[in-house]
Amino acid sequence: MNKRKLTALFAACAMLCGCGNGQTAGTTTAAPSETTTAAFSEGTGTTVEYIPFTELSYREQAERIVSGMTLEQKIAQMITISLRWWSDTPDDPDSFAAVTELNDRQKEFLAKYDFGGLILFKQNCADTEQIVRLTASVQDAARASEQGIPMLISVDQEGGNITRLTTGTMTCENMALGAAGDAQSTRDNAVIIGSELAALGINTDYAPDSDVNNNPANPVINVRSFSSDPKLVAKLALAYVQGLESEGVISTAKHYPGHGDTGTDSHTGLPMIDKSYDELKQTELVPFAAVADEADMIMTAHIQFPQIETETYKSIDSGEEISLPATLSKKMIKDILRGDMGYDGVVTTDDMLMDAINVNFDPIDSAVLAINADVDIILEPIQVMSAKDIAQDEYIGKLVAAVNDGRIAESEIDDSVVRIITLKLEKGIIGMEAVNADTAAISAKTIVGSKEHHNKELEVALRAVTLVKNDDNTLPLVMQENEKVAYFYPYAGEENTMTFALDRLKADGVIPDSVTAECHAFTENSESSDYEGLANDVAGYEELIKGCKAIIIATETYRTGNMDRTDEKRAWQAVFSDEMTALAHKIGIKVIHLSMHMPYDAVRYTDADAVLCAYCGNEMPEVPTEYNGNTQTYGVNYPAALITVFGGSTPTGKLPIDLPAYTEGVGYSDEIVYPIGYGLTY
């Protein structure tokens, strides 16, 4: 931080010595030494002695800092913005490019407004060195602002399918961690994520997802959840929080009060959960109660709970009265989270540009409602994509007007900014030295995507693999000299997972060097409804598979339509698997089915001789050969499943959810085919 600005800020915010008596819990020595001897005349001719700044608690220091801010600056500290895309000619829709470095206009924008945070997306993250330079320049711009306070630089790095880093270590989906079942695996996963983010200059992670996935048809959470068991989610969410925070990275439990029992994605609609408070306390709220004393931040969900929050708002889209979602609900935030659960940390909204909010609420109204509900951070309320977007005086000015006319109490603003500044002090963000990007990039390359991290992520993925069917001891698949298998998968990027697995198995002496695999992506056309064409494709493989010891078929189910033949747009994987399984069995070849994403589809493919669940279908764009900080991220759950198939690992995973029966064209039933905790082994 600019020492002159910080010194002036702290001196301007100095408080009289009233009742302090020395060092208090949670103090820091980050403030400049000039502030530790502050004393001045009150104008009465007497010199008043002040408490040294560093002998105040973090919260007291924050109160001192906030007292020297203008209302505009305080509101800006409550806003997290993004710079995902940029164009100098925004009227041309093809002119927008990903922001991987700051231009002069963007630097001036960050320096002008004293924003509290910036969220990064995948478009901002090209490689390790580039991310280090970007985060360093963001903080330099923040230091150049009038207040000079560094930003919360945040990212959604949950692991598995929800990752933003394109280099480094992807790690496992939460549901894979739930299948592994032990807190240490989850903590190890989070330590990898936290150490890599910290090395890149990213100080805030919007993780862990702490939702209880108690709806198999959930289109947005699903494998992002650890489990349908609230106690297991609570245990692993806490371990994840502790793992991130051990690396100095801010944790964010989400999506309070729970997004696991929805059938609608809040990115594209406004979900509703029609449950009472007592019902939520039995399930959804259990993990948030467990982490309330430890999580640095909690993120809200854009979900209606009409039995709890009865206040309504007239949708600007439909004109209908809608219940206030949790993000904007006093009952959910102030009364339950803050009051009943005792949480006094930072509360952030989910992205306010998601359709659940953006389509239904005026942006100023939604911010006013959120602040009055006791939310501290408004996440991405407005897109900033060109020079015409960087003038935020109107948005901030309207919120200032809302304070001045009494719609928001300034005390609400003060409380929120004190929490934000307290967190920045606790994490050493205020007081941090400017980063030398060259030096930091060299260091980051030894951490991000290190061999140690990649080995650990595979180790955890192997623990997660769950065997739910193994007729006639089909597995492990014992291979002899010159034998081969056929491997079918949805997308071309999965071919390398077999190469990776076979190389490891051969190196470990599990299979002979002469074993081979015929690898085929069966289609990449997710809009195909030509079932007859798919059947003909399968028939064309008959000669190839006749010489194979077994057939391995992987499918990736992201929604129920992927496994339901009545869905003509999405069921192409199911159709191919059905036809190939029937063909293989006709000629006496066994079939091993890999459920590579939602494990709920395991009940759909029980015609196979063996079925395993691996919980994440991320591909492997290239076979990794070097670990130098710029290795492309790759999924490890595919190779973990394949290694297990051939006996390179014994399956130990247990289902973290119940697998209910599924009827095509109807949906899930109450009948449980495989219960939570089920899992076979060799």
- The answer to whether 574 and 565 are in contact (CB under 8 A) is yes
How many helices (DSSP H) and strands (DSSP E) are in the chain?
22, 22
Burial class (CB in 10 A: 0-12, 13-18, 19+), 550: buried
Is the CB of residue 239 less than 8 Å from the CB of residue 669? no
Residue 567: CB atoms within 10 A of its CB come to 17
Token output for 646: 């051939």
Q: Which tokens sit at 322? A: 């809608």
Question: What gap in Å lies between CA 286 and CA 234, rounded to an integer?
Answer: 6
Q: What is the DSSP letter of 333?
A: I
3 state SS for 403-464: HHCCCCCHHHHHHHHHHHHHHHHHCCCCCCCCCCHHHHHHHHHHHCCCHHHHHHHHHHHHHH
CB atoms within 10 A of CB 89: 11
Q: Which of 127, 156, 205, 350 is labelled catalytic? A: 350
Q: What angle do CA 395, 63, 146 make, to 5 degrees?
A: 50
Which H helix or E strand runs over 132?
Answer: helix 128-143
Q: Please name which of 12, 74, 72 lies closest in space to residue 415, comparing C-alpha atoms.
A: 74
Give CA 468 to chain center in angstroms. Answer: 28
Those residues whose C-beta lies under 8 Å from the C-beta of residue 368, and which sit 6 or more positions away, are: 399, 402, 407, 408
Cβ partners under 8 Å of residue 378, min gap 6: 78, 79, 80, 349, 352, 367, 370, 371
Structure tokens at 641: 């499943």
DSSP 326: G
* Given 265, 267, 389, 520, the catalytic residue: 267
Environment class of 599 (CB within 10 Å of its CB; exposed 0-12, middle 13-18, buried 19+): buried
Is 1:430 a contact under the CB 8 Å cutoff?
yes
The answer to whether 261 touches 280, Cβ cutoff 8 Å, is no
Contact 605, 577 (CB under 8 A): yes
CA dihedral sign of residues 647, 649, 650, 656: negative
Q: Is 350 noted as a catalytic residue in this protein?
A: yes
Cβ pair 605, 423 in contact under 8 A: no
* Edge-to-edge strand list for the sheet holding 590-595: 466-470, 610-613, 590-595, 550-555, 484-489, 516-521
Query: Sheet of 378-379: strands edge to edge?
Result: 204-205, 152-155, 117-120, 79-82, 378-379
Nearest-angstrom CA–CA distance, 421 and 417:
6
Q: What are phi and psi of 297, to 5 degrees?
A: -140, 160
Cα gap 43→60, rounded to integer Å: 25
Rounded Cα–Cα distance for residues 221 and 270 (Å): 15
Q: Which residues are catalytic?
A: 267, 350
